[in-house]
Amino acid sequence: MGKAEGMAPPAIALRGIEKRFGAVHANRAVDLTVRRGTIHGIIGENGAGKSTLMAILHGFYQADAGSILVNGREVAIRDSRDAIRLGIEMVHQHFMLVERFTVLENVMLGAEGGPLLARGAAKARAELARLGEAFGLRVDPDARIENLPVGAQQRVEILKALYRGAELLILDEPTGVLTPQEADDLFRVLRALRAQGRTVLLITHKLREIMAITDRVSVMRAGRMVAHRETAATSVAELGELMIGRRLAAPAPRPAPKPGPVLLEARNLSVRDAAGVERVKGVDLALRGGEILGIAGVAGNGQGELLEALAGMRRPSAGEIRLGGQTVFPGRDFNPAALRRQRLGHVPEDRLRSGLLRNASAAETAILGYQDDPSWRRFGLLAPAAVAAHAARLMRDYDVRPADPALRSALFSGGNQQKLILAREIDRDPQVLLVGQPTRGVDIGGIDAIHQRLLACRAAGKAVLLVSVELDEIMALADRILVMFDGRIMGELAAAEADEQRLGLLMAGVAPERAA
Amino acid sequence: MGDVPRWAELALLPVLNLLLALALTALLVLATGGDPVAALTALAVGSLGSADALGYTLYYATNMAFTGLAVAVAFQGGLFNIGAEGQAYLAGLGVTLAALHLGFLPAALLVPLAIAGGAAFGAAWAAIPGWLQARRGSHIVITTIMFNFLAAALMVHLIVNLLTAPGSMAPESPPFPEAASLPGLAQLGFPSSAPVNLALGLAVLAALGVWLLVWRTPWGYALRVMGQSPAVASYAGIDQGRMIILVMALSGALAGGVAVNELLGAQHKLLLGFTSGYGFTGIAVALMGRNHPAGVLLAALLFGALTQGGAELAFEVPDVPSEIVVLIQGLVILFTGALGNMLRPALARVLGRAGG
C-alpha cells in the first residue's frame, strides 16, 4: 500500500501471521501495515490475539507461518535481541525495571557501553537529558525507581526504549495503572514521538483512548484482523461492534437506590502489609444494604489491603469492623471462615492468585471456602458427584462456559472464571458482598453479565463493596464513590456528581478544597 | 508442553521411563564388561522369581510404602518432609517402649498399643518441625533434615546407654516378648523364612486411608488447597498453621510404619540404625508415585524389587559390581522423576498423530 501511494515503505508490515498453541488458534492469517510516524492502535477483547501478535513482533514467540517486513525488508525475529536490533521496543503492562536501581542505571541496563560503568554513565546522562528535552520526558536520572510514582516509572520505560534506539514503540495497555491526568501526560509524549518520526503501536481495550490519540486503528477478534480504519473515519460505536462482533445493548437505566440498614462498617481502620508498612491509614466507611459503594483509586493505594482486611484475610493493626451490627474486629473469631458463616461473600481482587484452584477442576473451585458445608457430603465423606452437581447448577445459573465441572479451572477464560467465582459467592446469599476488580481480564460480553449480577445483588438488598481501578466501571455501578489515595479516603462523591475530572484529582491525591 | 491422554500419563509414560532406565543400565553393564541379559535376569528372578524372593521384595516394599505415603501426604499440603528417616527411627522407640513395658498384655492388646506407640512417637517427632514452620517460620526442609541428625544421635544414646540389656555387648534392646509380634504371611504361601508380615496389609490399609482422607474429606480438600497455593488457602479461611502441624504429625505417624514392619514384624528388638535409609527412599517413591497412594504402592513395589533383586544380582553375577543396583535406582529416579516429562512432547506428537 505504501508503494502504491508513493510513500516510504511501512515501518512494519505483517503478512499472513499464523500462531497456534495446541488447540488454540491465537493468530489466523493476520495482516497488519503500520505506517512510519503514526500512532497505530490495536484493539480487541481479551483473548483476541493482540498480545500474541505483539509477542511475535517482539521475538518472544515465533510465528508458525507468515512474514514480517521492517521498512519493506523481510526479517526474522528469533528473540528480543533481534527485535531490539531492528529498533522494535516494547513497554510492558507490568514494568521491567529494577526497583532498587536509579533511573540512570535502569536506562543503561543492557547497554552499559564497556567494562567500566563511568564512561557509559556519562554518555547515558547526556543522552537522557537530550531525550527528556526532545520528547518532554523529564525524570530525575538519580532517583530510585522504588521512590517514583507509577507514571514516572512508565516514562523511564519509554526512555529506556528510546535510549536503545527504538524506532517502533509497542505499548501494552499503558494507561491501566495511570490516573486520567497521567494518561494525558503519556499521550503528550506519544504525540511528541510521532512528531519526530517515531512509530507507536498502542495495544488497548479502551475505545476512548483509541479515539483520542491514534491515527489508524486495527481491530482483532478471535485471532483475526477484522478491520482497519482511519481513526477520523470511525466511531466508538463502530469499533465496539467490530470488537465483539455484534451490537451492544445500551445499559438499562438503574433504579434509584433503596438504602437499607448499615451492614458493614469500618471505623478508623488501619492495616499493615506483610512487610509491616501501613497501607490503610484510619479509614472510615459504612455500607448499607441495597447500595453499591465504589472504591476508586490508582492500583496500590491501599484498596487491596482494605479489602483483605474486611474479608478477614488480613488482621488490621487498629480500628473496628462491624458486620451486620456485630463487632467482628477486634474479636476472637476474626478469620475468613468465620466471616463467611456470618454471610460475608468475597470476590478477591486477584482471582488467579487467590480466588480459584488453577490446577483443580471447576467443581473443586466451586466449593472453595465452603468445603465444610455438609450438603456435599455423603456418609461424612466428600461426594464428588454432589460437588459436581452443585458446580453444574452454578454453571448453568450463571452461564459459565463451557459448563463442564470436570474441566480444569485454569482452562476457562477470564470472564468465565470470574462468573464461576461470583456464582460461588452470590449463591450463598451473603448479606455483604466484597468485590475486587471484578472485570479485570474479562471480555466485554462477560463484563456486562458480571455488572448485571452485581446490580441484581443491589436490587436484592445486599450491600456491595466494589473496589476497581476502572473508573468506567465504578461510575457505571456505584451509588457512592470513595476515592483512596495513599491509604486514606481522599473524598466521597455521589454517583451523580462524579466525573472523570473530579475522580482523577482525588486519585492523584489532590484534596477537594484545593481542586475546587 | 504437549498434552497426552490420561491413560498414557498414568501408565505408558512411567513404563517407558522405567524401560529407558533399564536400557541405560544394560548399556552400562555391557560397558563394564558384564553380561546385561544375565544381570537383568538375575534382577528379575531374584526379586520376583520365587515365593521367598517375593516375600523379601514385599517386605522391603512395605517399608517404602509407609515412608512414601508419609512424604506424599505432606507433599499434598505443599510440605516437603525430608525427615521420614528420623521419624521412623523415633517411632522405633515408641514401639520398643510399648513392647517391653506392656509385655504382660495379650497380643491382641499389645500389638495395637505398640503400633499406636510407634505412630505417636513418629507423629510427635514430625510435629515439632511442623510447629516450627507454622509458628516460627523455620523452613520445614531444613528442620526435618536437622531432625534426622537429632534422631540418630538421640537413638544412639538411648540404645547404647539405656536400652541395651545389662551385660550385653550388642547395641540393641532386649528381645521383645513373644506377644509383641505381627504374624507372617505363611497362609498366603510365603515360606516362613521370608520376613514379609501383616504390616504389608497395614501399609495397603494406610494407602486406602490416605486416599480417603486427602480426596474424600473436607480436611483433605483444605490440605490440597494449601498445597496448591497458600494464597488461595488464606482466602478460603483455612487455618494453615494448624493444618501444617496436623499433616506433619500424620506424615510422621505414617513413617512410623517402618518401625512396625521392621521391629514387630521381623526383628523383634530395637536395632541401631534399623531404618537404613528407607526414609530417603520414600522421597523417591513418592516422587515416582506422583504423591498418590496408588502410585506410591506401585513405586514401593518397584523399589522393593530393585532392593531385593539387587542383593541377589550381587550374589548371582559376581562380575557385575553390587553398586550397579544403586545405579539402577538412581537412573529410575532420574528418568521417572527429574526427567519425567522428557518423553512427553514426543509421546504427545505420536499419540496426537495416531488419534487425529
Q: Give the Cα separation of B9 and B11 in Å (integer).
A: 6
Question: Where would I find the beta strands (DSSP E) of chain B?
Answer: none
Contacts of A337 in chain B (CB under 8 A): 236-239
Quote the percentage of chain B above a pLDDT of 90.
Answer: 60
Q: Give the Cα separation of A134 and A119 in Å (integer).
A: 23
- How many Cβ atoms sit within 10 Å of the Cβ of residue A170? 26
Q: Give the Cα separation of B179 and A156 in Å (integer).
A: 78
Q: Which stretch of DSSP H or E encloses residue A388? A: helix A384-397
On the question of pLDDT at B2 being above 70, the answer is no
Q: Give the Cα separation of B191 and A100 in Å (integer).
A: 70
Concatenating the DSSP letter of every residue in B294-340 gives HHHHHHHHHHHHHHHHHHHHHHH-TTS-THHHHHHHHHHHIIIIITT
Is A355 an 8 Å CB contact of chain B? yes
**Torsion on CA atoms B300, B301, B306, B311, rounded to nearest 10:** 100
**Nearest CA-CA distance, residue B333 and chain A, Å:** 25
Is A338 an 8 Å CB contact of chain B? yes
CB contact under 8 A, B228 and A358: yes
Alpha-carbon distance values, A480 to A260, A290, A425 (Å):
14, 12, 23
What are the grid coordinates assigned to A279, written together? 497501607
Q: Which residues contact A56 (CB under 8 A, 6 or more apart)?
A: A17, A19, A27, A62, A63, A68, A77
Residue with cell 498423530: B353
Q: What share of chain B is helix, strand, coil (3-state, %, to 5)?
A: 75, 0, 25
Summarize the confidence of residues B58-73 as an average pLDDT. 97
Question: Where would I find the beta strands (DSSP E) of A384-487?
Answer: 432-436, 463-467, 480-485
pLDDT reported for residue A510: 82
Number of helices (H) and strands (E), helices first, in chain A?
Answer: 17, 22
Q: Which residues contact B328 (CB under 8 A, 6 or more apart)?
A: B21, B22, B25, B43, B306, B310
Hey, what domains does chain A have and what are their CATH numbers? 12-244 (3.40.50.300), 262-360+413-515 (3.40.50.300)
Is A216 an 8 Å CB contact of chain B? no
* Nearest chain A residue (CA) to B238: A337
Q: Give the Cα separation of B283 and B287 in Å (integer).
A: 6
Q: What share of chain A is helix, strand, coil (3-state, %, to 5)?
A: 35, 25, 40
Q: What is the pLDDT along chain A (516 residues), one digit of tens a residue?
A: 444 445 678 999 999 999 887 767 889 999 999 999 999 999 887 778 888 899 899 888 889 999 999 998 999 999 888 998 899 999 887 788 888 899 998 988 877 777 777 777 888 899 889 988 888 888 889 999 888 877 888 889 988 888 888 899 999 888 877 777 888 888 999 999 999 899 999 998 778 888 889 999 999 988 899 999 999 999 888 888 888 777 655 556 677 878 889 999 999 999 998 888 899 999 999 999 999 999 998 888 899 999 999 999 999 999 999 999 899 989 888 999 999 999 999 999 888 888 999 989 999 999 999 999 999 988 889 999 999 999 999 999 998 888 899 999 988 878 889 999 999 999 999 999 999 999 887 777 788 889 999 999 999 999 999 999 888 889 889 999 999 998 999 999 998 888 888 888 888 888 766 444
CB contact under 8 A, A355 and B232: yes
Summarize the confidence of residues B193-206 as an average pLDDT. 93
In degrees and rounded to multiples of 5, residue A142 shows phi and psi of: -100, 5
**Nearest CA-CA distance, residue B158 and chain A, Å:** 43
pLDDT reported for residue A3: 43
CA angle (B63, B66, B72) in 5-degree steps: 135
**Nearest CA-CA distance, residue A356 and chain B, Å:** 7
Report the 3 state secondary structure along B3-37.
CCCHHHHHHHHHHHHHHHHHHHHHHHHHHCCCCHH
Higher pLDDT, B342 or B338: B342
Is A430 an 8 Å CB contact of chain B? no
pLDDT reported for residue A111: 73
* Nearest chain B residue (CA) to A359: B228
Helical H segments across A164-300, by residue range: 180-195, 207-213, 236-244
